[in-house]
Structure 1
Amino acid sequence: MAFRPAGSTDKPLLAVLRGERRDPPPAWMMRQAGRYLPEYRALRAEKGGFLDLVYDPESAAEITLQPLRRFALDAAILFSDILIVPFALGQQLSFTAGEGPRLAPPLKGADLAGLKLRLERLDPIYETVARVKAALPPQTTFLGFAGAPWTVATYMVAGEGSREQAEARSLAYSDPALFGAIIERIEELTLTYLIGQADAGVDAVQIFDSWSGSLAPAEFERWVIAPTARLVERLRAARPDLAIIGFPKGAGGKLAAYARETGVDALGLDETVDPAWAHSVLPEGLPVQGNLDPLALIAGGRGLKEAVTRIREALASRPHVFNLGHGIQQTTPIAHVEQLMSLLGKSSGGVI
């Protein structure tokens, strides 16, 4: 069984992650604390770059809470980044405007043994969690997160993001022992990191495998399913009450195997997945999250209404957390988020 129904809770979203159905479904949005909000842009202009915000717990907590002041969302998600793990593993991390993140040295040409573990780089994130937890209303679920081992490894190997993840895929084929050692290092620290988030106050965590869709089936089993299954098993043993959402973006037809074999409590669906198909192939009763196309939210109007209706009808008999299929985009109009909340039967105004 891939999920663990538990007792009821006064947090609607957490109840769904534990196997209950709620109508209307609880909702949050990936990247809901971010650049589409004018208050976020104002704070970033005042405080500096992205990493400056992540490592300022007061600012990071404020950004985490901002969307809950505007919208009746059922969860807050920690404002941070999946590359905090390689940063704590000893790579240097920087964000360049218009170019995205950079990690140095790239592991495609460096010695893994040369990285020095820097656990203190996780401490400000835990402080952010504690600050947010103290400010949240009791009905709001608090979500932490980390990148999945495969996705984090793609950045560590190449030193930056890439659409095809060619460097990591090539290394995995040519030197699976070395690549396996990288994955193992990521697994170990990710376990520590997620336990730390749980101890600081999160109710659930999402494991982002943003680049899982780039792998051939056998490689998907080896580098996505197997490491995630090990991580879930160990995390559950350490913190049994922590709900775990898996989000293997781009997995497509491999979603059912991922759900069965990783043991996650809930499965995130990206916008390319037909929710009716997912309902037909996934384990009965497994909670799912998703999967509105972020561009439908940008479009708004009738197209948004029809997309929301299709998703809700397809997943009406399954525990469902309404969400986007990926992150909310910078150009999303605030009015369209308000329309989405209305379509979901959410009251106007924020929850804090």
Structure 2
Amino acid sequence: MPSEIPAAGAPPNLDVATMPALQNDLYLRAARGERTERAPVWCMRQAGRYLPEFRAVRVENDFFNVCRSPALATEVTMQPIRRYAGLLDAAIIFSDILVIPQAMGMRVDMVPGTGPRLPEPLREPADLARLVDQRKGFSVDRELGYVYHAITNTRHALAGRVPLLGFAGAPWTLMAYMVEGGGSKTFAAAKAWLFRHPQAAHELLRRIAAVAADFLVGQVHAGAQALQVFESWAGELGPREFAEFSLPYLAHIAAHVKQRCPGVPLTVFARGAHYALEQLAAETVFDVISLDWTIAPADARARVDRALRAAGSDRRVVLQGNLDPTLLFADEATVRRRTAEMCAAFGAAPHIANLGHGMMPGHDPERLRVFLETVHQASRALRQ
């Protein structure tokens, strides 16, 4: 691994010619809608607390210290790639969606056993004045340069084994954290903003979207080969609110990134918002839509294809997903059977295998191995 780069500054001037040649491009081909010999597979939160080697790093390092150290972020990104050698088809940089609120001036703590906490949340529209603004000298590259440096380090460490994914949180999801002060069962405070202060909500969402879009472009400049946008709390919105307060900002981010990085595959994960599949397919330029486990893949495929035809679009939107993560708590035979059924449900069309959400702290790492091995076997058989 190259020596650690200072944790601030603009993205490195990445010379692609100096990067190791990519040996496994299965993920990138599938994300572009190309037929592949089997489904590529990776997992959200594939670097995390279920791995003993990750927990060993965390013994002496605060969560956000790991994120802010390029060397440590590279190390934990590489841990699943090493453990599951030859089974994962992509790495995703170790970071967190809440680095954007941090960059915008908010304090974010990761509380053991509880999760993220923002001790000074946005309570009223006047609180927007506490946030830094791109129009007033704020630099995404300066504030989030440590992520860029981690990406460049990791590209070298991967040595071309698999492509590296970058990511960002979507505006509504980040707004929810920034207003609630953490996770929530009801998201009452954040949703109340949408109804009581719609203009202020749009201003906040616009500002987050501008940072997220530039942040994603910077990740590509640093070496990310594909990107994912996490709208983790999409399902807390009804269809009308999603159409007003989420979809336009997702569409803006995708259009901005595609304009500046046209060859980079983009994925959106709007958890719980399967009611919006048609809009995500026809009204944005995301290449891949990631599904949670609450929708049948065949239904999702049919709805996406109908929406694209109705829009007169010849685009191919690829689906990703969607095994229920809690199935990895089952016995090995059940994991194999249900994973094979998932692969069959997606069929032989271009598909990226994944869980319907992220790995959980209590998962047995060997159950993930069973999932990965089964995807390799079952999806290859479907294409023969």
TM (normalized to structure 2)? Answer: 0.84
Counterpart for residue 361 of structure 2: 330
Range with greater deviation from structure 2 (177-186 or 336-345): 336-345
Deviation readout 1:85-116 (Å, 9 max, x if unpaired): 01101111111112221224211235212223
Counterpart for residue 318 of structure 1: 349
1:18 Cα deviation after fit: 0.5
Counterpart for residue 5 of structure 1: none
Counterpart for residue 36 of structure 2: 22
1:177 Cα deviation after fit: 0.5
Counterpart for residue 131 of structure 2: 115
1:135-284 map, 5 Å? 135-283=157-305
Unaligned residue ranges in structure 1 (runs of 5+): 1-8, 347-352
Residue 60 of structure 1 pairs with residue 76 of structure 2: no
Contact 1:300 1:339 in 2 (8 A): no
1:272-311 map, 5 Å? 272-283=294-305, 285-311=316-342
1:137 Cα deviation after fit: 3.4
Identity between Structure 1 and Structure 2 (%): 37
Residue 103 of structure 1 pairs with residue 118 of structure 2: yes
Contact 1:92 1:103 in 2 (8 A): yes
Q: 1:23 to 1:298 in 2, by over 3 A?
A: farther
Contact 1:265 1:286 in 2 (8 A): yes
Deviation readout 1:226-285 (Å, 9 max, x if unpaired): 110111111111111111000000012222222221221000001112112112211274
Contact 1:286 1:319 in 2 (8 A): no
Contact 1:286 1:318 in 2 (8 A): no
Q: 1:139 to 1:282 in 2, by over 3 A?
A: farther
Select 2:371's aligned residue among 331, 340, 344: 340
Contact 2:343 2:375 in 1 (8 A): no
* RMSD of aligned Cα (Å): 1.7
1:33-48 map, 5 Å? 33-46=47-60, 48=61
Counterpart for residue 3 of structure 2: none
Unaligned residue ranges in structure 2 (runs of 5+): 1-22, 309-315, 378-384
State how many pairs are aligned. Answer: 338
1:317 Cα deviation after fit: 3.2
> Counterpart of 1:34 in structure 2: which amino acid?
G
SS class of match (2:300): helix
Distance 1:228 1:155 in 2: 17
Distance 2:266 2:70 in 1: 24
> Counterpart of 2:129 in structure 1: which amino acid?
A
